[in-house]
């Protein structure tokens, strides 16, 4: 009976050790800081999303004044990623749709970034362990 308990205990220790060694929370996530320029100017506002090509987790960051930050532990894990960039601008026109006012209208927004950088992105970035810097130069006519 004593050897059975010893075997169970050793087995449990092996499982816990293996789980800790493999990183129960998944692979380490790297930090990514970046710059997004659109037709030579810093993108005022938008979102950058890293989409894994083979495996990993998609992560996004807000762009403000042409820069974004994904701190270590919150960024993508090392690997190859497609990169999507979106940015919406108000047109000044009110349209029917979900709104926070009683009029039933809201400000119309249009996507200003071409599909080649979002819906059909051609952008790719390789994330390595540690800190990464991603510079994206976008053009209105890619």
- DSSP secondary structure string for all residues of 4-17: HHHHHHHHHHHHHH
55 contacts 44 by C-beta, under 8 angstroms: no
What gap in Å lies between CA 41 and CA 45, rounded to an integer? 12
Asked if residue 4 belongs to a domain, the reply is: no
115 DSSP assignment? G
Asked if residue 117 belongs to a domain, the reply is: yes
Asked if residue 8 belongs to a domain, the reply is: no
- 71 vs 20, 28, 34, 67, 109, CA distance in Å? 23, 12, 11, 13, 29
Q: What is the pLDDT of residue 132?
A: 97
**Residue 2, pLDDT above cutoff 50:** no
How many domains, the chain?
1
Asked if residue 10 belongs to a domain, the reply is: no
Asked if residue 120 belongs to a domain, the reply is: yes
Residue-number span of the structural domain to which 64 is assigned = 28-138
Please compute the mean of the pLDDT values over residues 48-68 and round it to a whole number. 96
Q: What is the pLDDT of residue 104?
A: 73
Please compute the mean of the pLDDT values over residues 58-86 and round it to a whole number. 97
**Residue 100, pLDDT above cutoff 70:** no
| Tokens of residue 141, six digits | 């006519």
**Residue 103's CATH number:** 2.60.40.10
């Amino acid at each position: 009976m004593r050897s059975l308990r010893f075997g169970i205990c050793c087995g449990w220790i092996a499982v816990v050790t293996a789980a800790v060694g493999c990183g129960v929370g998944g692979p380490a996530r790297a930090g990514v800081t970046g710059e997004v320029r659109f037709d030579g100017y810093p993108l005022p506002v938008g979102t950058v999303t890293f989409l894994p090509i083979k495996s990993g987790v998609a992560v996004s960051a807000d762009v403000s004044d042409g820069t974004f930050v994904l701190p270590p532990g919150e960024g993508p894990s090392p690997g190859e990623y497609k990169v999507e960039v979106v940015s919406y601008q108000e047109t000044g026109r009110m349209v029917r749709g979900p709104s926070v006012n009683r009029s039933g209208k809201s400000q119309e927004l249009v996507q200003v970034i071409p599909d080649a950088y979002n819906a059909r992105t051609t952008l790719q970035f390789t994330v390595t362990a540690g800190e990464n810097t991603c510079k994206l130069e976008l053009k209105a006519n890619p």
